[in-house]
Amino acid sequence: MLVDIVIRESKESDIFCIQEIYNQGIEDRIATLEVELKDNSYMKDWYEKHKGRFKVIVAEQEGKIVGWASLNQYSKRAAYDGVADISVYISREYRGRGIGKKLLVHLVTIAKENAFHKMVLFTFPFNLLGQALYRKMGFREVGVFKNQGILDGNFVDVMAMEKLL
């Protein structure tokens, strides 16, 4: 039951927990083409880029961070100022419990409040649970980039999805 899940804006003191969950996503090979685990220096730099409109939120249960999501800059070109790329990561032992949905609901609200008109994400075509969540939340498939990246020596396709706000 998720009654006690609190969604809030992140604080700098949350960086280590965010890093730990992000590194789980990298290790599990289901959410990102990243292959190198992130260290404290990388995460501090990443967090500094998430000021102003580019928020990071966390899901917390009984004082423990169990997931996070962020609005990321899609492009440095001014024409794309209204488009946010998003990230959603859930701690291994808490996946499949509805935390991603709670984070996405809040992320949509924050995106609207910060003058974004569209959210985009990139996912693996084999990440069926993630896609199901995104579709439930009003995202649509835009297309699949064939052989977009290499993961563990193999080409991987990447699906683009979007949601107009």
pTM of the full structure = 0.93
Question: Looking at the domain assignment, is residue 159 inside a domain?
Answer: no
Question: Looking at the domain assignment, is residue 142 inside a domain?
Answer: no
**CA–CA separation, 67 vs 85, rounded Å?**
17
**CA–CA separation, 138 vs 116, rounded Å?**
16
Average pLDDT score over residue span 34-51: 94
- Is pLDDT at 30 greater than 70 in this prediction? yes
Exposure string (b/e) for 70-82, b if CB count within 10 Å is 16 or more?
bbbebeeeeeeee
Residue 152 Rama label (left phi>0; alpha psi -120 to 50; beta):
left
- Is pLDDT at 49 greater than 80 in this prediction? yes
Which pLDDT tens digit goes with each residue over 53-110?
999 999 999 999 999 999 999 999 999 999 999 999 999 999 989 999 999 999 999 9
Question: Looking at the domain assignment, is residue 156 inside a domain?
Answer: no
The residue segments making up the domain with residue 46 are: 5-117
Question: Looking at the domain assignment, is residue 72 inside a domain?
Answer: yes
- Is pLDDT at 1 greater than 90 in this prediction? no
Question: Looking at the domain assignment, is residue 65 inside a domain?
Answer: yes
**CA–CA separation, 134 vs 93, rounded Å?**
20
pLDDT at 31: 87
Question: Looking at the domain assignment, is residue 144 inside a domain?
Answer: no
Residue 42 contacts by C-beta under 8 Å, 6 or more apart in sequence? none
Ordered strands of the 56-61 beta sheet: 5-9, 56-61, 64-73, 83-90, 118-123, 154-164, 140-151
Question: Looking at the domain assignment, is residue 22 inside a domain?
Answer: yes
User: Number of H helices and number of E strands within the chain?
Assistant: 4, 7
Question: Looking at the domain assignment, is residue 35 inside a domain?
Answer: yes
pLDDT at 129: 87
End-to-end CA gap in the chain:
29
* Domains contained in the chain, number: 1
* Domain CATH for 15: 3.40.630.30
